[in-house]
Structure 1
Amino acid sequence: MKRFRVTSASSIVLVMLCIMYFITYLDRVNVSTAAAGFGKEFQLSHTQIGLVFSAFAYPYLVFQIIGGWVSDRFGARRTLICCGAVWAVATILTGLAGGLTSLLAARLLLGFGEGATFPAATAAMARWVAKEKRGFAQGITHAASRIGNAVAPGAIVLVMATWGWRESFYICGVFSLLWVIVWAMTFTEHPKDHRRITPEELEVLPVPKPKAAN
């Protein structure tokens, strides 16, 4: 069995996907902690706050279904760049909200952005992770998302106590944008095109099937 190197191109891709999973869960669950701030400021009822919480889920459901097709059609690189930009902007817009309507719009946009993210990430892993390591890759990326889920409440409370609830969304949005930039700079659709890929890595990665002639 070949030794796992954290500096290898495939390992860097996996680390980037773990960070993505972490950030997406941070972006989606921070609203429940920040509700204490915006609920009071906008004088929202419990029902209205519940609507803000659930608004994310509806477009997320739709784009989870079609996200695989989008990734197959446009590629994991472009799909995740576009999705990441959308969820980053949506997170920042949540901090800029002026009331219930703008909060709902921002959360709906977040659902659109994150919906296709995980099918696209799976498509990326199918090309960048050796078959015998795919279980590990799925496990570690999902563990990263649960860490984001666990870290969010404490981190958001700390930011809210220091600056305010709006700033918690600004900070999360900036982290998301930074991830998009690094992803665009480091990821290639096909491993063979990556400048740091080695022949040893290519040997164990899946070989893309040639397209059938029309």
Structure 2
Amino acid sequence: MNPVQTSRAAVAQSAGQSVGHGIGPIDAGATATARTRARFGILALLAGGTMINYLDRSVAGIAAPAMSHDLGLTPALMGVIFSAFSWTYTASQIPGGLLLDRVGTRWTYFFALTLWSFFTGLQGLATGFVSLLVMRLLIGAAEAPCFPTNSRVVAIWFPQSERARATGVYTFAEYVGLAFLSPLLFWLEQRYGWRALFGMVGAVGVAFGVVWLMRFHEPHESKRANRAELDHIASGGGVVDGSQQATRFRWSDVGALLRHRSMFGICIGQFACNSTNVFFLTWFPTYLVTERHMPWLKVGIVAVLPFIAASVGTLSGGWISDAMLRRGVSLNWARKLPVIAGLLMAATIALANYVDSIAAVIAILCVAYFAQGMSALAWGIVSDIAPKGLLGLSGGIFNLFANAAGIVTPLVIGLIVNATGSFVYALAFISAVTLMGALSYLFVVGDIRRIVLANADSSLS
């Protein structure tokens, strides 16, 4: 028992309580104690890290018109640059999940955050296609553990009844940062140039890495969470006693997970969900400039609106799901329905091809990105179905499929625009993929329940 647990035990014993490792029975005296809210401080850290994650991966989209002009990059080559991030990001998902299961949350996230931010800054030194490509590859590899870590933190710090909302909050940060910082980023690029923009964004991430290292703790190590909060978390399936153990990796576990229809189905759904997201993170500013002939600074203002819509969508999906669960709706439908509705609504993005009004185009794109935000709730489903001991690996596999879209979508859009000079078929492609994702949730994903693998480790990570 560590000093924090010893101190809690002494206080509890003096009050005549029965104390375990944060999961023992609660008597009347314990329930009368107001719960602390340390888990929400941890959630704020996740939100901050996730916001920086998306700023660092998407700032190339803001810099793209000026950068491609200065470096002589065609739309097809820019498609490769946008896609390159996801080559290594996708390839590193399973290794990143294994690193998380073995090294732990605090140090894995610290090294990932500081490295991807450092490489983001180095993009400003690019002299051509090759050097820029190398930096994008390094950023992708460094960012790989981020979302498996987010999922793991939610699983250990939050009871099941709060996990969808917690997932919604840190996912909200993906979009709200881009929404409210985009005008500033466009202005900085216009004022100081795209090279300085990369350097400033990278420096912010490195500084936040130090904040993470100083402030993040596991529940059993926290000096801010009291006994009542730990029992509340534990009663909903959170792991507050530090009992999660490293799990020996077996390739057979990867195959066994993907043979479960629930895991395979949500992976297909996430590929579809992320296709819409990738469009907005990469090609969206270029679409407004080239297809809709919008002035650059106006793009910086208008681009805020879809990201605001997406941020509202992420919160809405989580709140709706948890509200359904509290009202007695099964876990299966409380988790799946918001995702299905989001994917179906996101398919409306193709309607932008049939309107001329800029206001109508932006309205359609806002609806599509709001819906994509709702479907981001799927990360909470990973926490619900991952086998004991394999949450890091499960998150890695799930994110591998999600970011296969990050490889395919920018390349396909780049090739379409290069061949046709238009985004019409690009938007149609995104719409078709999101419909495929909705069908996967309807007909492939079965009941949402924890997967049990034969001969799997019994510890929860």
Report the TM-score when normalising by structure 2: 0.43
Alignment counterpart, residue 103 of structure 1, candidates 114, 124, 132 = 132
Residue 81 of structure 2 aligns to a residue whose secondary structure is helix
The residue number in structure 1 matching 2:421 is none
The residue number in structure 1 matching 2:144 is 115
Q: 1:192 to 1:156 in 2, by over 3 A?
A: same
Q: 1:73 to 1:103 in 2, by over 3 A?
A: same
The residue number in structure 2 matching 1:171 is 200
Q: 1:151 to 1:57 in 2, by over 3 A?
A: farther
The CA deviation at 1:155 is 3.0
The residue number in structure 1 matching 2:111 is 82
Query: Which ranges in structure 1 are unaligned for 5 or more consecutive residues?
Result: none
* Residue 251 of structure 2 is aligned to residue 204 of structure 1: no
The CA deviation at 1:4 is 8.4
Q: Contact 2:84–2:137 at 8 Å: present in 1 too? A: yes
Residue 78 of structure 1 aligns with an amino acid whose one-letter code is W
Q: Contact 1:10–1:129 at 8 Å: present in 2 too? A: yes
* Residue 172 of structure 2 is aligned to residue 143 of structure 1: yes
Pairwise mapping of residues 122-133 of structure 1 onto structure 2 (< 5 A)? 122-133=151-162
Q: C-alpha separation between the residues in 1 aligned to 2:85 and 2:166?
A: 26
Q: C-alpha separation between the residues in 1 aligned to 2:189 and 2:35?
A: 40
Residue 197 of structure 1 aligns to a residue whose secondary structure is coil
Alignment counterpart, residue 134 of structure 1, candidates 163, 174, 191 = 163
Range 59-68 or range 116-125, more displaced? 59-68
Encode CA deviations 1:81-119: one digit per residue, 9 max, x unaligned: 111011111111111212211111111111011111110
Q: Contact 1:26–1:148 at 8 Å: present in 2 too? A: yes
Q: Contact 1:30–1:152 at 8 Å: present in 2 too? A: no
Q: C-alpha separation between the residues in 1 aligned to 2:56 and 2:244?
A: 38
Q: Contact 2:35–2:229 at 8 Å: present in 1 too? A: no
The CA deviation at 1:149 is 4.1
Larger gyration radius, structure 1 or structure 2: 2
Alignment counterpart, residue 19 of structure 1, candidates 48, 62, 86 = 48
Q: Contact 2:39–2:157 at 8 Å: present in 1 too? A: yes
Q: 1:151 to 1:60 in 2, by over 3 A?
A: farther
* Residue 98 of structure 2 is aligned to residue 63 of structure 1: no
The residue number in structure 2 matching 1:187 is 216
Q: C-alpha separation between the residues in 2 aligned to 1:167 and 1:4?
A: 46
Residue 56 of structure 1 aligns to a residue whose secondary structure is helix
Residue 59 of structure 2 aligns to a residue whose secondary structure is helix
Residue 92 of structure 2 aligns to a residue whose secondary structure is helix
Residue 142 of structure 1 aligns with an amino acid whose one-letter code is T
Q: 1:61 to 1:193 in 2, by over 3 A?
A: same
Q: C-alpha separation between the residues in 2 aligned to 1:4 and 1:18?
A: 22
Residue 175 of structure 1 aligns to a residue whose secondary structure is helix
Q: Contact 1:71–1:120 at 8 Å: present in 2 too? A: yes
Residue 224 of structure 2 aligns with an amino acid whose one-letter code is R
Structure 1 residue runs of 4 or more that deviate by more than 3 Å after TM superposition: 1-5, 148-153, 207-212
RMSD over aligned Cα atoms = 2.2
Query: Which ranges in structure 2 are unaligned for 5 or more consecutive residues?
Result: 1-30, 246-456
Q: C-alpha separation between the residues in 1 aligned to 2:133 and 2:60?
A: 11
The CA deviation at 1:67 is 2.6
Residue 167 of structure 1 aligns with an amino acid whose one-letter code is A
Residue 45 of structure 2 aligns to a residue whose secondary structure is helix
Encode CA deviations 1:155-183: one digit per residue, 9 max, x unaligned: 32111112111111111111111211100
* Residue 78 of structure 2 is aligned to residue 49 of structure 1: yes
Q: C-alpha separation between the residues in 2 aligned to 1:3 and 1:61?
A: 43
Q: C-alpha separation between the residues in 1 aligned to 2:46 and 2:200?
A: 20
Q: 1:210 to 1:164 in 2, by over 3 A?
A: closer
Q: 1:55 to 1:3 in 2, by over 3 A?
A: farther
Residue 48 of structure 1 aligns with an amino acid whose one-letter code is L
Q: 1:153 to 1:47 in 2, by over 3 A?
A: farther
Q: Contact 1:64–1:118 at 8 Å: present in 2 too? A: no
